[in-house]
Amino acid sequence: MCRFSLLLSVGLAALAACPAKAAAPPVPKYQYNRIHDPNGIGKFYMGREIAWVMGHQAANWLERPERVKEEHTHKLLPALQIKPGMVVADIGAGSGYYTFPMANLVGPTGKVLAVDIQKEMLTIIRRRMKTRRVSNIEPILGTITDPKLPAGQVDLILMVDVYHEFSHPYEMTLAMVRALKPGGRLVFVEYRLEDENVPIKLVHKMSQKQVLREMSVHSVRHAKTLDMLPWQHVMIFEKVRR
């Protein structure tokens, strides 16, 4: 056999022994439409219009006394089985409605990373930390594309009524998944689009089908959906172990 033929045979054998790596899913593109819901920003992702971010001026609405009765907020955290020593992230932490209860659950050996893109919300959290003498919360000023979380160190990421407001959901999800430990959980709490009786504006709701569609391009798997809340889905995804 000539040298060229020998080299060609060896090369083909090597290719056969190392199957081609599966191609990564294409990066979804954003669309824009000048005609849109007045409560949306006119930017669409996988067919869903993105909602305007709720401003810090509405922080009191997050803390309204009737919220427990309306949303059964007391049922959420026990269902997530947060344990002492965990590192958890509260994305779109706002006034800290869930941040402080999670700080109690993770205890002094754990940490809550309270992320928001509004400095004013983080100021509220810092003030409450000082008043309540809480030291296991770390306020983090994120950006519209990056929550600024440490890579591979987070056990659970919680997003309560916030994902639908991300102006760059693809980039944000990439960053959040990168921050999770293998097997770490990504939790969506979103108002049910499927239920017209939920008294929330349309673009501030999401269907289970839509959440599944948007997560299909990321390295997560749908673990389960909890339906113990009257208005919201609780959809839990796990980072795929490699």
3-class secondary structure, 117:
coil
* Each residue's pLDDT tens digit, 187-199: 999 999 999 999 9
Strands 154-160 and 220-226: unpaired
Which tokens belong to 36? 């849109």
User: What domains are there in the chain, each with its CATH number?
Assistant: 22-239 (3.40.50.150)
Amino acid at 145: T
What per-residue confidence (pLDDT) applies to 241?
A: 81
* Each residue's pLDDT tens digit, 153-195: 999 999 999 999 999 999 999 999 999 999 999 999 999 999 9
What per-residue confidence (pLDDT) applies to 25?
A: 63
pLDDT surpassing 90 at residue 65: no
pLDDT surpassing 60 at residue 108: yes
Cα–Cα distance measured from residue 181 to residue 94, given in angstroms and rounded to the nearest whole number: 24
What per-residue confidence (pLDDT) applies to 7?
A: 39
Which tokens belong to 102? 């999670």
User: CB count, 10 Å around CB of 177?
Assistant: 19
Q: How far apart are the first and last CA of the chain?
A: 42
Cα–Cα distance measured from residue 239 to residue 27, given in angstroms and rounded to the nearest whole number: 19
3-class secondary structure, 239:
strand
What per-residue confidence (pLDDT) applies to 24?
A: 59
C-alpha distances in Å from residue 2, one per residue of 8, 91, 236: 10, 64, 59
How would residue 11 be classed by pLDDT, with cut points 50, 70 and 90?
A: very low
Would you give the DSSP letter of residue 203?
A: G
User: Do residues 96 and 120 touch, judged by C-beta distance below 8 A?
Assistant: no
